[in-house]
């Protein structure tokens, strides 16, 4: 395998969990809900995915466990913010703190255990094509899920009546409620979808990216996924591009360390997060770009008339 092919493969692997988590959060925010608990749901998906695979001997059952963990964890957020109308920002932050602590407790007995890796696809002939063979036909199944998920979210949001309804709720939940649309029900489903995506992204980390369990192994990727949604101005294709951009930055700092360029490793490790801050600062300076496609009801609690 050549160096260029190796770099492309590692960029795709690094970008996949960011893309999946960001797409889930994009749908959540399009419904008008701001869930800052992506990091917590991702780490719960990672630990439950690893535990599920270790206990059953099946990496696929681990993926299912990760998805379910993220979805169930998101229900706690949905109940507090949608049914009780608590502050979404505070609740999301609390969810992240809870997820980090709970995952550490659940995963304590799995630290140092050998993990199961989700097998990669291999198509004889196609997978052996130089440079692009393994990239297109030799990836792990979750990579292909992430591409299909991107296409599915685009189709759902912009080509279906249900997607249009969801976006209308995000733009003005009061008007949607006046038209008889069940706002809370739509938002519950959107939040659960976002949680399932975050759980799948976490399972990718512990079953593909690094098939092992390490406490706090998400390492801030949930926050990067949140930033990606804003960076992409709530458009799925821009999320795809942004995820691969940040994946390239992540892999770039690893290769820079391997080349021994004399740059402190701590500085190189911080590059993905520095890039996130720089992008957000640049976006915030352009008010028109910031307001573009932003759901008008984002983060606002909705209490239906009784």
Is the CB of residue 52 less than 8 Å from the CB of residue 62?
Answer: yes
| Residue given tokens 């992409």 in the structure block | 232
Q: Is residue 199 part of a domain?
A: yes
pLDDT tens for each residue of the chain, 306 residues long: 567 777 788 888 999 999 999 999 999 999 999 999 999 999 999 999 999 999 999 999 999 999 999 999 999 999 999 999 999 999 999 999 999 999 999 999 898 888 889 888 877 777 777 777 787 888 899 999 999 999 999 999 999 999 999 999 999 999 999 999 999 999 999 999 999 999 999 999 999 998 999 999 998 899 999 989 988 889 999 899 989 988 888 777 666 666 666 666 666 667 677 777 777 677 666 666 666 678 989 989 888 864
Q: Which residues contact 192 (CB under 8 A, 6 or more apart)?
A: 71, 74, 75, 78
pTM higher than the cut 0.85: yes
What's the CA gap between 250 and 154, in Å, rounded? 26
Pair of tokens at residue 129: 């094509």
Residue 80 DSSP code = I
If you write DSSP's letter for every residue of 183-229 in order, what string do you get?
HHHHHHHHHHHHHHHHHHHHHHIIIIIS-S--TTTTTTHHHHHHHHH
Predicted pLDDT at 230: 87
Tens of pLDDT, residues 76-85? 999 999 999 9
Q: Is residue 300 part of a domain?
A: no
Predicted pLDDT at 141: 93
Q: Is residue 305 part of a domain?
A: no
Nearest to 190 by CA among 222, 153, 158, 218: 153
What residues make up the domain containing 246? 3-291
Predicted pLDDT at 260: 62
Domain count for the chain: 1
Q: Is residue 20 part of a domain?
A: yes
Predicted pLDDT at 88: 95
Q: Is residue 303 part of a domain?
A: no
Predicted pLDDT at 291: 67
Q: Is residue 102 part of a domain?
A: yes
Q: Is residue 297 part of a domain?
A: no
Q: Is residue 241 part of a domain?
A: yes
CATH number at residue 139: 1.10.3470
Predicted pLDDT at 250: 78
């Amino acid at each position: 395998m050549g160096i260029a092919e190796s770099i492309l493969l590692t960029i795709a692997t690094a970008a996949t969990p960011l893309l999946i988590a960001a797409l889930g959060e994009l749908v959540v925010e399009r419904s008008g809900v701001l869930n800052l608990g992506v990091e917590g749901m991702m780490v719960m998906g990672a630990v439950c995915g690893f535990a599920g695979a270790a206990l059953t001997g099946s990496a696929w059952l681990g993926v299912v466990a990760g998805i379910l963990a993220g979805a169930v964890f998101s229900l706690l957020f949905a109940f507090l913010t949608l049914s009780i109308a608590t502050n979404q920002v505070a609740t999301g932050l609390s969810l992240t703190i809870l997820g980090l602590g709970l995952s550490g407790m659940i995963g304590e007995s799995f630290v140092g255990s050998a993990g199961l890796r989700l097998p990669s696809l291999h198509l004889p002939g196609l997978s052996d094509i130089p440079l692009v063979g393994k990239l297109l036909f030799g990836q792990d199944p979750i990579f292909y899920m992430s591409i299909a998920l991107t296409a599915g979210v685009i189709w759902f949001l912009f080509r279906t009546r249900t997607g249009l309804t969801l976006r209308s709720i995000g733009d003005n939940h009061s008007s949607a409620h006046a038209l008889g649309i069940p706002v809370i029900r739509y938002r519950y489903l959107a939040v659960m979808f976002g949680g399932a995506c975050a759980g799948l992204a976490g399972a990718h980390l512990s079953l593909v990216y690094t098939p092992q369990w390490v406490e706090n192994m998400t390492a801030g990727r949930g926050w990067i996924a949140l930033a990606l949604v804003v960076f992409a101005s709530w458009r799925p294709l821009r999320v795809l591009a942004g995820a691969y951009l940040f994946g390239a930055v992540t892999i770039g700092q690893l290769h820079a360390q391997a080349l021994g360029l004399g740059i402190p490793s701590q500085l190189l490790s911080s590059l993905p997060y520095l890039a996130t801050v720089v992008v957000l600062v640049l976006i915030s300076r352009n008010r028109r770009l910031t307001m573009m496609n932003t759901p008008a009801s984002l983060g606002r609690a909705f209490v239906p008339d009784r």
